[in-house]
Amino acid sequence: MERLVIVGDTLLDRDVDGAVRRIAPDAPAPVLDEQTVHERPGGAGLAALLATADGHRVALVTALAGDAAGARLSELLIAAGVELYALPLPGSTPEKIRLRSGGQVLLRLDRGGPPEPPGDAPPAALDALRAASAILVSDYGRGVARNPGLRAAIEASPAPVVWDPHPAGPTPVRDARLVTPNLAEVRRLSGDAGDGSALTTAQRAGHQLRQRWRAAAVAVTCGPGGAVLCHSGPTPLVVPAPAEAAGDTCGAGDRFAVAAAAALAGGALVSEAVQQAVDAATAYVVAGGATAALARPPDRAATAPERIGAAEAGRFVAGTRARNGVVVATGGCFDLLHTGHLATLRAARQLGDCLVVCLNSDASVRGLKGAGRPLNNQHDRARLLAALDCVDAVVVFDEPTPEAVLSWLRPDVWVKGGDYADGGPELPEAELVKHWGGQTVIVPYLDGRSTTRTIAAARSGR
């Protein structure tokens, strides 16, 4: 399967839907009574979700801050099957909040402040770029596309590069196979005042930018007018939209760029890739945009047990990182909590400033241990762990391994007990933890203590 690697800025998009029935008494403004809140990745994150929904193998190289928004984005992306490689982001993860009523946007609130350059890319992110079948740079002007290490890796890659530019971002890398600005962006980037028709402007400015960027081709997207492909030949290719597209256009540019990159990864000509991209973007808008293209995740619960759950863990992790602290995580079944567990947990907590326990769910334990386990259900096991003074938060996961939850927690240190010491096999999660520059360590078990022995002793009457 082709591997599509997407590089760019990710935002947390939040749609707040409600009803407007009155005007505020203290200001001439409508009052929105909140009814539902839906969250999804935006920017490069939306491109990654769209590509994953198409059935592609997708890796996302982005930047996330150590805050609750960053944790939520990681959770959503990993749950969708995206391989996530996150650069450290100073400040806050950007958020875009749309207040809506009756399908209409009343106000958009942006959070995150001015862009700040992200930190260095972890080596695993550069390895992902080297192994790409195609690379899509989804630039939203917040700094990821400027990262020198990432740019060098993109330029060195033999894979076709599709670059979706932003007026506040850097120029595309030289010899990009396809650059995909929209008509408004082309006017800003070229300084073209737009005299004449949209088609004339797209042709003139598109050729100008292709030569300036030294790109193989530039496809100017024109909304319901389709796209204009400016290549090395003297005559541009006009690709009309197959149908009149009316609807929510948010994310249509991402839909276009993803389809083009996927087509190039499969060996299509640039002209064929642009035709497929126009068709995909038109269908996306006609169907209702991101809301229809992506199955919305369940709304977040308004409350959660103290120190248990993804939201609680995200808050502890965000607070720790805000203080430049070290986040430690460990995992296991913890079916019968005993002194061996306690020794391991205390040793793990001493390695940093916050300890999150990744706890196997009941279904996960049954798959690992057999039909007779666990003896205690996941709710009781989580509450006992959360009651320990050395544990800051507990997250329950259903998979056989904790890789998904680790990918959104991104701990600085991942700790396991002594099964893998003394020259044994490498810890299964060790390679994953390297993706964000984390470290894997082993702490010894307390000799003679294990859940299996404890259960066996109880059953034998000893």
Q: Which residues are catalytic?
A: 254
Token pair recorded at residue 392: 């800051």
Which residue(s) pair with 310 in the sheet?
none
CA distance 402 to 399: 7
Q: Are residues 144 and 150 in contact, defined by beta-carbon separation less than 8 angstroms?
A: yes
Residue (of 274, 296, 292, 293) closest to 228 by Cα position: 274
Residue (of 404, 430, 324) closest to 88 by Cα position: 324
**Cβ-proximal residues to 308 (8 Å cutoff; 6+ apart), any chain:** 382, 383, 386, 393, 394, 395, 396
Q: Could you count the other beta carbons within 10 Å of the beta carbon of residue 175?
A: 12
SS3 for 196? coil
Q: Give a three-class secondary structure readout of 136-155.
A: EEECCCCCHHHCHHHHHHHH
Query: For the chain, percent helix, then strand, then coil, each to nearest 5?
Result: 35, 25, 40
Does a cis peptide bond (omega within 30 degrees of 0) precede residue 28? Answer: no
CA distance 138 to 47: 8
Q: Are residues 49 and 295 in contact, defined by beta-carbon separation less than 8 angstroms?
A: no
CA atoms within 13 A on the CB side of 174: 2
- Residue 218 sits at φ, ψ, to 5 deg, of -125, 125
Which H or E run contains 85? strand 83-88
CA atoms within 13 A on the CB side of 291: 15
CA distance 165 to 171: 8
SS3 for 83? strand
